Amino acid sequence: MENHFISNPAVDLGPTGYDEALRIQKKAVLAVKRGYIDRALLFLEHPPVYTVGRKPVPENYIGIIPVATERGGDITYHGPGQLVIYPILDVRTDGRRDIRAFVNRIMEAAIGALSTCGVSAEKGENEPGIWCNGMKIGSVGIAVDENVSYHGVSINISKSVLDGFSRIRPCGMDPSVMSFVQVERNRLIEALISVFSGKFGLFGKIPREEFLEGLSGLPSNLPDPLRDSFPQVGGERLHKEERG
């Protein structure tokens, strides 16, 4: 394939359906595994969607049919008013694979970027995620394919996103624990690129179209990465975008 990537890309994909974002991540993972790029950093916003990880607890999402994913964790919500960050990175440090240490580095990078934007945040001591003033403002869930990460971090940057959490117990917690921080989206993206570059190696910001053109040269006959949703009689699936 001709290499369209002029650098290890940091890309603002903008509003992107969950299924499409997963396909893009899978292609980016393949690009890293095959050596076309060393890493990628994807930013986006999902339409309203509930997703569940590898440790589902159905009591936490009664009446909801979530999208099943390969990431860690339980039920969460994505929607407008949230910045989603998908780091496509080699999880190894000095050749050693330590997923817990890698997840901590991801959270530290997100917290460092928030600090640059004037927000004092921290990792939860007894609960997962990113916290500010005793409230949870960010969620973390990673999947790994042959030492390359996908899925990632979501940060609530608008009050509008909180209504989606009210219908579930996010990661088993009362939804009242969820909050947001008022940070300008583009400012936070620039801070994240800077901090992730310091921790994982330089990223170069490129347009969405250029990034997708680079991915288009990868094989088109990849298996569909999507899994079936968990069955829930009488539930409502808020996964609105069409597949394909």
Q: Which residues are catalytic?
A: 171
* Distance in angstroms (rounded) separating the CA atoms of residues 112 and 100: 18
How many Å apart are CA 179 and CA 159, to the nearest integer? 7
- Listed residue (193, 203, 218) closest to 29, CA to CA: 218
Structure tokens at 82: 């949230």
Write the DSSP string, 120-179: --EE-SSSSSEEETTEEEEEEEEEEETTEEEEEEEEE-SGGGHHHHTTS-GGGS-GGGB-
- Of 121, 119, 142, which is closest to residue 130 (Cα–Cα)? 121
Task: In whole angstroms, give the CA distance from residue 212 to residue 12.
Answer: 11
Point out which residues pair with 156 in neighbouring strands. 82
Quick one: how many helices (H) and strands (E) in the chain?
5, 13
**Amino acid, res. 95:** G
